[in-house]
Structure 1
């Protein structure tokens, strides 16, 4: 986190995730379902190993959130990731971003996205990509991503047709989110 972000979020810090964190992030992940899919600990551990960016958000040493983002060309078989790969646009794909329910509403999602945009900018990527559920609906996430500059580039049914997602992309510019978390 930048000093500006730290001053807004006293007691919070970001750190790289490792495979050994998978058992700790699994309950956070599963509590966020259906916004993110419930995922076995072993699959989360593998996801961390294929991720280009895997960060944990801690409050006083306890993980209260995380983000996992994947660069192009990864050995990852997600339907949504494959959609973005097929577009042939250099991107950093946010597979999941999770904030503990007790911590929501404090601007922490924007803090994690700032880290993603910073990484994408350093890597010379053209955009950050992700998806948000349309069915089951997730209007809070849709509004949040719109505030961050994401626009819909497609939709698709996933998980055997049981979920409809909006596929989103936000361009990387020199000043994208440089001012710290959005309110």
Structure 2
């Protein structure tokens, strides 16, 4: 079994959309336009490819964007810098093989050189203790709760401190920026949506 975690490509979007909308009640459904928004704006959007098949994906965004999610906005109102995991989906055929942890390790590697916090939410309605345990054992702690809209589910808002970030900030970001190596690069996005604030190596306050 050959596994690759790579940036999403435009021709992957139909498969990603189908995978998202087959995931069940704990993942909000998307339409093609919403998925296109992530393709054009998400800072982290990677897929797991196994033997040529899309086995899962993870989407994350940094602070300061225009994403309309109430959970993303909750973190934006309270924290100056963070990477927010909007969703992770693993295809049924590939669950219970550790892909979730592989994705979270990869997302952490991306986040820890860019922000002090990795954030996300988990649904409490319906409650899934396996999901709560997964996040707890990965170092996330609850920092709040809210209801998603008047009739939406209650969610637990989670954050994980990234202890490597202060070193990276002081050693690289406040000096000459991140080294020019492939694993630190930003994902390619359509050129008309390039955001120069996001470029790896830029000095940040």
The TM-score range, normalised by the shorter chain, is 0.7 to 0.9
1:6-85 counterparts in 2 under 5 A? 10-85=1-76
Show CA shifts across 1:45-88 (max 9, x none).
21121100000101011101000000011121100000000112
| Distance in 1 between residues matched to 2:161 and 2:75, nearest whole Å | 14
Instruction: Report the number of matched residues.
Output: 165
Gapped regions of structure 2 (runs ≥ 5): 166-205
What's the CA shift string for 1:90-148, capped at 9, x where partnerless?
Answer: 1100000111111111111011111110011122x111000000012222211111111
Structure 1 gap segments, 5+ residues each: 1-9, 176-183
Q: Decide which structure has the larger Cα Rg and report it.
A: 2
* CA–CA distance in structure 2, aligned partners of residues 48 and 35 of structure 1: 21
User: Any conservation in 2 of the 1:90–1:127 contact (CA below 8 Å)?
Assistant: yes
Question: 1:23 Cα shift?
Answer: 1.1
Q: Which residue of 2 aligns with 1:115?
A: 106
Shift of 1:22: 1.9
Output the aligned Cα RMSD: 1.5
Matched, 1:98 2:89: yes
Structure 1 or 2: more strand by fraction:
1
